[in-house]
């Protein structure tokens, strides 16, 4: 009974990484026809479950907003769209609830209808069981008390029945019936205890099965190797279902489903981030694939120490995930071909010729950060200013991270597209429990958005859709210059704590990285 009570009573909340680490909401900023929309999807954390969808619309207000869930491989058609009613008291905000019935790659279609016509946007989202709901302690105590009462009641009733049920009225029970009653009570206790034990075992098995079914990113391992041009980072995906994904016999034997192949996102198969455990150093690398299990990237000169490794990948199904591992970087022994980041806010993006084919888009930054600073001055006199709204930053409260980039003279800096985006931002919490890679379009992967737009009924051959998406070559990548010197990322910090925010933009061919500190305070309860 005590153990059973402990199982019910212990308040534990499992949060396991999905597409991002510890930052479960999906964000999208873009256009639905003529309407600029910002979409925030709060997943239920369980599947099936109800996701909350918030649609913010700036400017002319539409008459009607609907939201609709689509599974990636929906064959029987999607459920009808749900109307997202206007939220009272908040201008331009619409909110709807959506049942997400199946795990894996899903999308939400937001349709806006009004005076400026009808337009829609497709927001890819990964649905997975990421948490295990626990019974709260008062309810656990209440149920345990009732259980004890029922148990005792059953034993007492059995005893009384054996002792007194056959007695004529008014007569007292004799020693023999007292003994029989005691035996019956003992037997009842044994049988009922066995039933409770059976139930406890069954419940544990169910729970274990559920924990097993929760999403865990593919297991990976990072290590440093020495290549001909210096230190090389090696990342291996060591998860058996991935390594064995071509072996259908192995998969069915181990009841694992086959992963779809990886596809490029912003022209890269993997976006890998190294974050020093104390947040003092950061690198954004693009390892090249050796054999779809091993990935290699030239290591820039980074301070020695313990690093967290976050590797973003996108599957052909539109499923995105962040693999997490750790790495101990030794003091660099040999000079490494890449230019080191300099000063507090260095220019990153040195180019190196190397055996593994270093990516020109790699960038990094090391050094301390002034916790009060909202402006970071980078090499070449470029300044990045965080337009922080006055007042504390509150967890769970949507507030875009907005930055203005100015040149030496204080005028707007002419930015260029960096990996197909006007800017990139990475947000990490000091304990590693939150990691997210943001773009002005939000948390979504452009590749998975394209996967939803371009999928066809015949896409049952693995690798086919990925090829078509690669051939379409990301229309955004073609435009080199960015029209504004302000980059903005839709976001809400998921929980209070100390965070580092890195912002990356490209100016005159160089990738600039600025780092800021953010203390996030406890906000209002998340509206669920």
At its nearest, how many Å lie between Cu ion and the CB of residue 419?
A: 6
Q: Give 245 or 424: the residue with its C-beta nearer to Cu ion.
A: 424
**How far, in whole angstroms, is CA 189 from its chain's centroid?**
48
Q: Give 71 or 424: the residue with its C-beta nearer to Cu ion.
A: 424
At its nearest, how many Å lie between Cu ion and the CB of residue 418?
A: 8
At its nearest, how many Å lie between Cu ion and the CB of residue 420?
A: 9
Q: Give 214 or 515: the residue with its C-beta nearer to Cu ion.
A: 515
Taking CB under 5 A as the criterion, which residues in 412-451 touch Cu ion? Answer: 424
Q: What residues are paired with 112 via a beta bridge?
A: 65, 119
At its nearest, how many Å lie between Cu ion and the CB of residue 337?
A: 24
Taking CB under 5 A as the criterion, which residues in 45-64 touch Cu ion? Answer: none
Q: From residue 374 to residue 413, what is the string marking binding to Cu ion with x (rule CB under 5 A)?
A: ----------------------------------------
Residue with tokens 């009004």: 114
At its nearest, how many Å lie between Cu ion and the CB of residue 236?
A: 23
Phi, psi of 80 (to 5 degrees): -65, 155
Per the CB < 8 A criterion, the answer to whether 449 and 122 are in contact is yes
CB-CB neighbours of 381 under 10 Å: 12
Per the CB < 8 A criterion, the answer to whether 504 and 18 are in contact is no
Q: Give 315 or 424: the residue with its C-beta nearer to Cu ion.
A: 424
- What dihedral do alpha carbons 252, 254, 258, 264 form, nearest 10°? -160
Q: What is the C-alpha to C-alpha distance for residues 441 and 483, in angstroms, rounded to an integer? A: 15
Q: Give 424 or 517: the residue with its C-beta nearer to Cu ion.
A: 424
Residue nearest to Cu ion (CB): 424
**Cis bond leading into 458, ω under 30°?**
no
**Nearest of 503, 483, 485, 528 to residue 439 by alpha carbon:** 503
At its nearest, how many Å lie between Cu ion and the CB of residue 438?
A: 8
Residue 268: which residues within 8 A CB-CB, separation 6 or more? 286, 359, 361, 419
Q: Give 81 or 490: the residue with its C-beta nearer to Cu ion.
A: 490
Taking CB under 5 A as the criterion, which residues in 71-100 touch Cu ion? Answer: none
Taking CB under 5 A as the criterion, which residues in 114-133 touch Cu ion? Answer: none
Q: Give 49 or 267: the residue with its C-beta nearer to Cu ion.
A: 267
Q: Give 121 or 426: the residue with its C-beta nearer to Cu ion.
A: 426
3-state secondary structure 104-154: EEEEEEEEEEECCEEEEEEEEEEECCCCCCCCCHHHHHHHHHHHHHHHHHH
At its nearest, how many Å lie between Cu ion and the CB of residue 103?
A: 26
Q: With CB under 5 A as the rule, give the number of residues binding Cu ion.
A: 1
At its nearest, how many Å lie between Cu ion and the CB of residue 520?
A: 22
Taking each helix axis from N to C end, the angle separating 2-9 and 137-164, rounded to the nearest 10 degrees, works out to 150
Q: Give 245 or 268: the residue with its C-beta nearer to Cu ion.
A: 268
CB-CB neighbours of 462 under 10 Å: 15
At its nearest, how many Å lie between Cu ion and the CB of residue 402?
A: 17
Q: Give 338 or 424: the residue with its C-beta nearer to Cu ion.
A: 424
At its nearest, how many Å lie between Cu ion and the CB of residue 507?
A: 16
Q: What residues are paired with 476 via a beta bridge?
A: none
Alpha helices in 358-510 (DSSP H): 446-454, 464-472, 475-478
What letter does residue 396 receive in the DSSP assignment? T
Residues forming contacts to Cu ion in the complex (CB under 5 A) are 424
């Amino acid at each position: 009974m005590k153990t059973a009570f402990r199982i019910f009573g212990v308040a534990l909340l499992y949060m396991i990484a999905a597409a991002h680490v510890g930052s479960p909401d999906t964000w999208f900023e873009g256009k639905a026809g003529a309407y600029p929309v910002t979409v925030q999807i709060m997943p239920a954390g369980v599947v099936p479950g109800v996701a909350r969808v918030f649609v913010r619309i700036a400017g002319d207000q539409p008459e009607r907003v609907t939201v609709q869930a689509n599974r990636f491989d929906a064959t029987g058609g999607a459920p009808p769209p749900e109307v997202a009613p206007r939220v009272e008291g908040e201008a331009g905000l619409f909110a709807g609830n959506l049942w997400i019935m199946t795990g894996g790659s899903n999308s939400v279609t937001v349709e806006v209808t009004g005076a400026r016509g009808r337009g829609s946007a497709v927001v890819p989202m990964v649905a997975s069981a990421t948490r295990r709901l626990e019974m709260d302690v008062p309810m656990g105590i209440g149920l345990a008390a009732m259980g004890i009462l029922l148990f005792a009641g059953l034993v007492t009733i059995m005893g009384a029945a054996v002792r007194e049920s056959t007695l004529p009225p008014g007569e007292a029970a004799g020693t023999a019936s007292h003994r029989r009653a005691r035996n019956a009570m003992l037997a009842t206790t044994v049988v009922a205890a066995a039933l409770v034990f059976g139930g406890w075992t069954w419940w544990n098995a169910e729970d274990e099965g559920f924990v097993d079914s929760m999403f865990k990113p593919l297991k990976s391992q990072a290590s440093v190797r020495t290549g001909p041009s210096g230190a090389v980072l090696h990342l291996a995906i060591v998860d058996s279902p991935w390594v064995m994904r071509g072996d259908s016999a192995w998969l069915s034997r181990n009841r694992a489903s086959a992963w779809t192949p990886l596809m490029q996102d912003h022209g890269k198969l993997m976006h890998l981030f190294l974050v020093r455990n104390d947040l003092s150093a950061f690198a954004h690398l693009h390892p090249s694939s050796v054999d779809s299990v091993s990935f290699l990237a030239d290591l820039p000169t980074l301070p020695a120490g313990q690093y967290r490794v976050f590797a973003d990948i996108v599957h052909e199904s539109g499923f995105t995930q962040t693999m997490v591992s750790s790495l101990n970087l030794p003091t660099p022994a040999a000079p490494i071909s890449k230019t080191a980041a300099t000063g507090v806010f260095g220019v990153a993006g040195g180019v190196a010729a190397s055996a593994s084919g270093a990516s020109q888009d790699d960038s990094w930054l090391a050094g301390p950060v002034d916790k009060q600073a909202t402006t970071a001055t980078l090499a070449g006199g470029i300044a990045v200013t965080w337009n922080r709204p006055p007042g504390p930053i509150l967890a769970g409260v949507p507030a875009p991270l907005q930055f203005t980039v100015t040149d030496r003279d204080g005028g707007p800096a002419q930015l260029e597209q960096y990996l197909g985006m006007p800017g990139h931002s990475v947000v990490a919490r000091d304990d590693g429990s939150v990691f997210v890679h943001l773009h002005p379009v939000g948390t979504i992967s452009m590749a998975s958005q394209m996967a939803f737009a371009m999928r066809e009924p015949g896409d049952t051959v693995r690798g086919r859709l990925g090829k078509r998406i690669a051939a379409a070559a990301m229309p955004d990548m073609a435009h080199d210059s960015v029209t504004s010197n302000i980059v903005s990322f839709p976001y809400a910090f998921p929980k209070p704590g100390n965070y580092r925010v890195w912002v990356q933009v490209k100016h005159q061919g160089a990738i600039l990285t600025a780092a800021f500190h953010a203390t996030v305070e406890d906000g209002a309860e998340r509206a669920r």
